[in-house]
Amino acid sequence: MTSLPKPLTFLSLSVLSTFAISIQAQTLSGVVLDKSGQALDEGRVQIMGTNISTPILADGRFIFDNVKPGNVEIHVASSKHIHSKTELTIPELGLFDVEIVVANSSIEIFDVTASAFHASTIESAAPVSVIAGDELRKKQASTLGDTLKNEVGVHSTFYGSVASSPIIRGLDGPRVLVTQNGLDSGDASRVSPDHVVATDTSTATQIEVLRGPATLFYGSGAIGGVVNVVDQRIPDNNDWEGEVSTDRNTNNSEETFSGFIKGGKDNIAFNVQGYYRDADDYRIPGYAENEEAHSEDEGEEAHSEHEGEKKGVVENSSSRTKGITVGASYLLDNGHIGFSVEHMSSFYGVPGHAHEDEHSDETNVDASEPMDEEIVQGDLQQNRYQISSELQLNTDAISAVNTSFAFTDYKHAEIENGEIGTVFKNKSHEARVELIHQPIAGWRGGFSFHYKASDFEAIGDEAFTPPSKTNSFGIGVIEEQHFGDVLFQLGARIERVEIDVPAIQIGETAFLAMHSEAEHLEADHDAVEGHDLENSLGGIQSSNASFTPISASIGAVWDFTEGYNLGLSYVYAQRAPSSSEIYSFGPHIGTSTYELGAFYDITDDGDVIFQAQDLAVEKSNNIDISLRKFSGEFGFVLNAFYNQVNDYYFAADSGFVVEGEHDETDELVDNMAEEHGDELPVFLFTAVDADLYGFEAQVNWQATASLQLQAQGDLVRTKLNENMGESQYLPRTPPSRVGVSANYVLGDWQAELSLHKYFTQDRVAEFESETKGYTLVDLDINYLTSFNNTDLTFYLKGRNLGDEEARVHTSFLKDLTPVQGRSFIVGIRANF
């Protein structure tokens, strides 16, 4: 197991040794009311700059028993009300019967745990979205990407409803970090879109989406944003609560069971949560393969493409996923410390690799057992261990210390024709220590020390990326202060990233032109700063690369009038390229491509050469402007962004293909003239300058006490600033879209009808085809009741009611796998 750096270990021991400090504390109590004088019945009250918070009780009251005398700022958070801040002076004998009044909000407001300040969604200079409560349960799907696909600024990679990941403003993969309670999920989904995100939403309390660079807190892997899945696996209180739910999907016979229970006694708190999901192949209105993807002059040959393919079903799209997590905490007077253990497994089909003539006549693939037919399946196993603590110190210098640690043991096997083909393994360690200092001249903030290590290995004939070890250590500082109606936020981070590849072997069947390039490689060896390359005729024996990404940000939130604010942020962020972006060399089954990393190049004759070069970090200049109205019955959030990126790494279609089955006959041929049957297009990772910009809008109107209307839309544009052929667009850029919904409440009944229009995407990259637009109509109906102090919700979800053939432009499988056809999900949920 990789050990923590000595500086971080020493720091952790130093701050933990301060627990014994005794601080004289007093009581602070009061009540929270709305403007009509009604007491709030939900929310939390927090003392800013500390970890101290308490829930708002049913009668609106709150109480703190451990407040240090002096000046404090109280923050009230409620999803249905505008968050408020109140400055108080706590005398030596305590302060009682404080009355805080908050205004109603036209949009739901949540605190963001992924933010260093735990700020709310309207108090952040950069745009943040949070899905929680009933809204999360309504949007919950089998994958994280599908759960978030209708959020403004977020799309999905859509891999046949089995392995979809989120795309934020056109960025995904190694640029968008997926975290579980603030720590990296530790899976291989950032490397390949066919790998399941090893984080389930069934038992999540909320999902937070940070749109735009979040490198200050999470490192260079978050240059495009963060998706943080929050649950209660490590509880911070011993309140008893639980939830159990089950439902069934009529389209693919998917059955889902999930639940959690949290409680405790005295100083002990515990949480147990789990889920189980089993689905058959899903149904669609037509054929899985897109007829229009074939050229018109193919005639009868194009028609025969559907021979052996079943109509009305996406073959090999079944899945079975299950997981269980157990956690416990020891509650202290000044915080808590706890741990959790999780096991997750998933066995699923990889769509786009099966036809009827290749296997039996059965429509559905049993996800419980490997198959003998010509199909590809994934088998994921992951164990995850987490430790976290939040401790209030109240020393003269340090206000609080937060620590979190995680170890993840991940294994993913690709099963081809019933036999294990390629195995991906990743063992990762991560540690973060946050020191929150006492206010300094009015500035609140702290320091973050972040360490992460990953030992990644791919073994098999189609291991497109070599084994690698990646270590990073970062130090960051984040500060904020109010100046009248303006909140300023500042931050900076420096990070060291080291990638060590112990052995890169180019197989005998590879087409690497090493024999003619040996002298060139030796001449360039000393000129490559940060790399240790040992070259031989058969391949590169070892390599290492190191980078020092630096990030800085400045932001402001101006409350220019009651119920409105304006957010402005500028972030300069750098990202170190990942190991797969540098060293890939081989067929990538998940994307149906042959990938070459940035260390390689292709000659005009189709020979592949090793290019010894000093790789640059990716550099992003990102500007965000947000205008928000959140008071009254009508509200909106408008965002505009511009992201100028230098040395943007992406896999560009080279115009060549690999023929045959990757044996001794492998060769590159030009594919610009015609389509080829069983050939893989060659994609080469290239660093170019690019611009990404766009606009996002959300509008909410509480038309009556029972009727709420909502409209939203977003668009993103991408442009390459270098000549990459006839097209200047990045591949798989999300299409523009708009959506409207109406939510009506009548007694114990709730109903919502929504429509999302996706426009045709004709701004395509070189060798990329256009994707037709489509419209999806959804319906949600809930009936709420109670029995024996248990809240029951009976629900019906209707998806794609128009049974439209919809193909997702951002998916590698858009011409092989449309979205699920008309489906109805019937279920029941109990909360106690």
What pLDDT sits at residue 214?
86
Q: How many CB atoms lie within 10 A of CB 194?
A: 28
Q: Which of 104, 74, 220 is nearest to 620 (CA)?
A: 220
Q: Are 131 and 138 in contact (CB under 8 A)?
A: no
Lowest mean pLDDT among 299-308, 315-324, 450-459: 299-308
Nearest to 487, CA basis, from 123, 126, 117, 109: 123
Instruction: Choose among 201, 277, 205, 208: nearest CA to 241.
Output: 205
CATH topology for the 128-831 domain: Maltoporin; Chain A (2.40.170)
Read off the pLDDT of each residue in 466-483 and give the average, rounded to a whole number: 94
Does the structure show a pLDDT above 50 at 17? Answer: no
At which residue do the structure tokens 């990646």 appear?
A: 470
Instruction: Dump pLDDT digits (tens) for 342-353.
Output: 999 999 998 876
Q: Do residues 128 and 211 lie in contact, with contact meaning Cβ atoms separated by under 8 Å?
A: yes
* pLDDT 10s digits, 55-68: 888 888 999 887 77
Residue 724 has pLDDT above 90, yes or no: no
Is the pLDDT at 302 greater than 70? The verdict is: no
Structure tokens that stand for 429 in this block? 């360690």
pLDDT at 118: 61
**pLDDT band of 243, cuts 50, 70, 90:** very high
Nearest to 571 by CA among 217, 182, 207: 217
- pLDDT higher than 80, residue 741: yes
3-state secondary structure at position 83: strand
| Closest among 692, 669, 663 to 682, alpha carbons compared | 669
Query: Which residue type occupies 463?
Result: A
- Which of the pair, 760 or 17, is modelled with greater confidence? 760
Q: Residue 358: what are its φ and ψ, rounded to 5°?
A: -100, -10
Higher local confidence (pLDDT), 540 or 490: 490
Enter the tokens of residue 766: 């070189």
Percent of the chain topping pLDDT 90: 54
Q: What is the pLDDT of residue 51?
A: 67
Q: What is the mean pLDDT of residues 516-535?
A: 35
Q: Higher pLDDT residue, 614 or 827?
A: 827
Q: What is the pLDDT of residue 760?
A: 97
Q: What pLDDT score does 591 carry? A: 77
Mean pLDDT of 93-104: 85
Reading the block at residue 396, the tokens are 């003269």
Select the CATH number that applies to the domain covering 6-102 from these four: 3.20.19.10, 1.20.1200.10, 2.60.40.10, 2.40.50.1070. 2.60.40.10
How confident is residue 14, by pLDDT bands cut at 50, 70 and 90? very low
Beta carbons of 352 and 592 less than 8 angstroms apart: yes
Average pLDDT over residues 290-298: 59
Q: Which residue do the tokens 């009250």 mark? A: 45
Mean pLDDT over each residue of the chain, to the nearest integer: 84
Q: What's the CA gap between 699 and 571, in Å, rounded?
A: 27
Domain edges within the chain: 6-102, 128-831
Q: Hey, what amino acid is at 449?
A: F
Give the pLDDT band (50/70/90) at residue 667: very low
pLDDT for 26-37, tens place per residue?
788 889 998 888
Query: Residue 32 contacts by C-beta under 8 Å, 6 or more apart in sequence?
Result: 39, 40, 43, 45, 56, 60, 61, 62, 76, 78, 100, 101, 102
Between CA 743 and CA 563 the distance in angstroms is 23
Average pLDDT over residues 200-212: 93
Do the Cβ atoms of 760 and 736 come closer than 8 Å?
no
The predicted pLDDT at position 263 comes to 96
Q: Which of 738, 741, 733, 730 is nearest to 759 (CA)?
A: 738
d(CA 52, CA 335): 8
State which of 52-56, 236-240, 294-298 shows the largest mean pLDDT: 236-240
Given a cut of 90, whether residue 632 has pLDDT beyond it is no
For residue 643, what are the β-bridge partners? 622, 692
- Higher local confidence (pLDDT), 830 or 113: 830
- Residue 497 in tokens: 């990233």
For every residue of 30-78, DSSP letters joined together read EEEEETTSPBP-S-EEEETTSS-EEE--TTSEEEEEEEPSEEEEEEEEE
Q: Hey, what are 523's tokens?
A: 């001449």
Question: Which tens digits make up the pLDDT trace of 362-400?
Answer: 334 444 444 445 688 999 999 999 999 999 887 889 989
Helix, strand, coil % over all residues of the chain, rounded to 5: 10, 55, 40
pLDDT at residue 130, as a whole number: 92
pLDDT at residue 650 tops 70: yes
Q: 294 falls in which pLDDT band (50, 70, 90)? A: low
Q: Give the integer Cα–Cα distance in Å for 238 and 244.
A: 19
Residues 6 or more apart whose Cβ sits within 8 Å of residue 789: 832
Of 373 and 710, which is predicted with more confidence? 710
Token pair belonging to 611: 């290019």
User: Which has the minimum average pLDDT: 131-145, 196-210, 587-601?
Assistant: 587-601
Mean pLDDT score, 43-52: 78
pLDDT at position 307: 62
**Distance from C-alpha of 42 to C-alpha of 54, rounded to nearest angstrom:** 11
- Consecutive H or E run containing 90: strand 81-90
pLDDT for the residue numbered 541: 63
Given the structure tokens 């990941």, which residue do they identify? 165
Residue 508 has pLDDT above 60, yes or no: no
